[in-house]
A and B are shown apart, each in its own frame.
Chain A
Amino acid sequence: MNTMNNKMYSYYFLLPAAIIYFLFFLFPTLMSFFYSFTWWTLTDWEFIGFENFINFFQEPSLRIGFRNTLFFAVTATTGKVVLGLLFAVFLCSKIRNRGLLRSIVFFPVLISAIAIGIAFSVMMHPTDGIINSNLAKIGLNGPNWLGEPSLAIFSVAFTDIWRGVGIATVIFIAGIMAIPWEYREALKIDGGSSFQEFWHITLPLSRPAMNTVIILALIDGLRNFDLVWAMTGGGPGFSSDVLASIIYKQYAGGFYGLATAGNVILFLFIALIAFPVFKFINRREVDL
């Protein structure tokens, strides 16, 4: 068997992938840990210790990135999980046009974030946008969705939910479809209501699907750049800047060391949040 392994499953097959993946992804990632401690101009560098990181924690315009990144990721993830599950339960019911509805829910996933961000930022215009002008018609005074510093990041998160709920929905549908029908049959024979069906069967048994949705949405939310950039550019001021947009601004300003430190912080942020969630979720699954 071993000789067959060596002969048929040659390491050479890994070589093209390994070279490309290492050279263009792993190696720059490793490099970033070194250059985050330097003052860097691409041609020249100088070791400055923790100064870049201290900047990130002291400058208000940089520090705000932590809070916003977390707010954005958590809001978007919660929205996608709740709405996605509701849509999925609805789309698994007996209605006849569920194929059409599923396509409608899913199509925003395929449009670029930039295009969606631009469309929504026009719709969220404080006076002329269709959201506020329609709210005005029923007598409500809509807020300045993207101009209000405390609200802007949540408006962007709402747009991200609109864009990404389709993925969550189809994942939940796949999860619900995989539940053996005997459980529901047993519940029906015992005279359970549809709420009981949802609470005691659909919700606990679609856990694997929910785990996937949470992990995907969380990682997506922490990395998000396109939507913030298209909708607010981090503004007003720097009130809606997330780590990814701060990295861009530092890069564009020529502060390469600082931008790289931002990258390292983003890596650690993702690892610190995503890995424990990943572990926690996996443990719960074993318990079930």
Chain B
Amino acid sequence: MSVHYENKEEVLSAGAAQKSAVRFSQKKTPKKILVSEILGTLAAVIFFGVPFYFVFINSLKPAEEAAQMNLSWPNSFHMLENYKEVLTINDGRLLLAFFNSTIITLFTILILIIICSMAAFVLARREGLSKKLNYLVLIGLMLPPAIVPTISVLQTLGLFKTMPGIVLLEGALRFSFACILYRAFVATIPRELDEAALIDGCGPLRLFFQIIFPLLKPVTSTIIVLSSIQVYNDFENMLYFFPGADNATVQLTLYNFTGMFGTSYHYLFANVILISIPPLILFIFFNKKIVAGMTAGAVKG
């Protein structure tokens, strides 16, 4: 699973896509293109848009109407009531969850950026070592965490059910992905730069933090965006390693709802919409970064 990061964004950028598409495609009449545009949009809207519309429209309905679970236009809008109720119920549990998830995400990203870039720098420069450790890094991409042993380790260290515990754990579980992305990027930075710095009397710490790390900015921003969405959306690890009454996190709030209200779909859907807003905002602003990170390694050479 070798990762070649360079040129990904360029390949995917609109300009390149346009040029190649114009060059590649068959000569179609404008009418045919228009038909496929319309059909394609229609299919995409029905297949992907309807579930989204369904959740949104039902989050605006009063309880009885939402319980019918259909797509009809609401008779009366209860947007403010529903969303306010969802935000304030249980002493503002959802707000607490937003706060917790934000803190966890921020600190996980911080740790991830620091440890992965440092490790990847040395691994990329020492190819023999990198080869030896390759499988060790790769299994982190494949295997899920071992649940009970991890809990026992966290308990021994006194970190189970604590913020630092979950942050360190999320960092460990996402290490491999970030490290591989960083390693591929460092490999494109010429070694001569290091040698020049050495001759000018630069130490290893200064070389890394003042010269190399700033050059890693494109991949750093990709990792920030991607990992923050992943940590924010994480349900499984929060369920296992961060349980407890005060440890609310956003994905788990959905479960508090289904248990408490049974079939109060209007609140449930309002909650779904609220917790989906942050990733969607990130998507609107960092569309290309996200796609670049997710397609890294797809195209060799």
Chain A residues engaging chain B, CB cutoff 8 angstroms:
4-5, 7-11, 13-14, 16-18, 20-21, 23-29, 31-32, 35, 40, 42, 90, 92-101, 103-116, 118-120, 122-123, 125, 128-130, 133, 162, 167, 170-171, 173-175, 177-178, 181, 184-185, 188, 194, 197, 208-209, 212-213, 215, 219, 223, 225-226, 229-230, 244, 247-248, 251, 256, 259-260, 263-264, 266-267, 270-271, 274, 278
Contacts and interface: CB of A to CB of B under 8 A. Distances in A.
A271 B255 CA distance: 32
B215 interface: no
A177 B272 contact: no
Contacts of A35: 148-149
Contacts of B233: 110-113
Contacts of A98: 17, 21
Given A31-B152, A130-B71, A20 B115 contact: yes
B118 A13 contact: yes
A112 B276 contact: yes
**What 3 A-B pairs have minimum CB-CB distances, sorted nearest first?**
A24-B172, A32-B146, A17-B119
Contact size range, B? 35 or more
B86 interface: no
A13 B213 CA distance: 13
10 contacts: A17-B175, A92-B20, A98-B17, A106-B283, A112-B232, A119-B51, A181-B23, A229-B235, A259-B147, A263-B147
A25 B145 contact: yes
Contacts of B242: none
Interface string B41-80: 1001101111110110000000000001111000000000
B276 A111 contact: yes
A8 B290 CA distance: 33
Contact of B282 (A97, A110, A120): A110
A118 B268 contact: yes
A123 B54 contact: yes
B22 interface: yes
Contacts of A270: 142-143
Contacts of B150: 24, 28
Nearest to A127: B69
A13 B119 contact: yes
A178 B299 contact: yes
Q: Which of B111, B151, B272 has the most CB of A within 10 A?
A: B272
Contacts of B17: 92, 98, 173, 177
B198 A8 contact: yes
A20 B175 contact: yes
B50 to A, nearest CB: 8
Interface in B207-228: 207-208
Contacts of B195: 4
Contact of B36 (A93, A110, A209): A93
B254 A115 contact: yes
Given A29-B139, A107-B280, A271-B142, 13 more contacts: A5-B125, A9-B121, A16-B115, A23-B153, A25-B172, A26-B136, A110-B280, A110-B283, A115-B275, A170-B12, A185-B23, A213-B298, A263-B149
B260 interface: no
A174 B295 contact: yes
Contacts of B121: 9, 13
Contact of A181 (B20, B48, B125): B20
Contact of A119 (B54, B173, B299): B54
Most buried by B among A5, A40, A114: A114
A128 B69 contact: yes
Contacts of A263: 144, 146-149
Interface string B261-301: 00001001100100110011011000100110011011111
A213 B294 CA distance: 11
B257 to A, nearest CB: 9
A119 B146 contact: no
Contacts of A212: 1, 297-298
Contacts of A108: 48
Contact of A17 (B116, B143, B235, B280): B116
B279 to A, nearest CB: 4
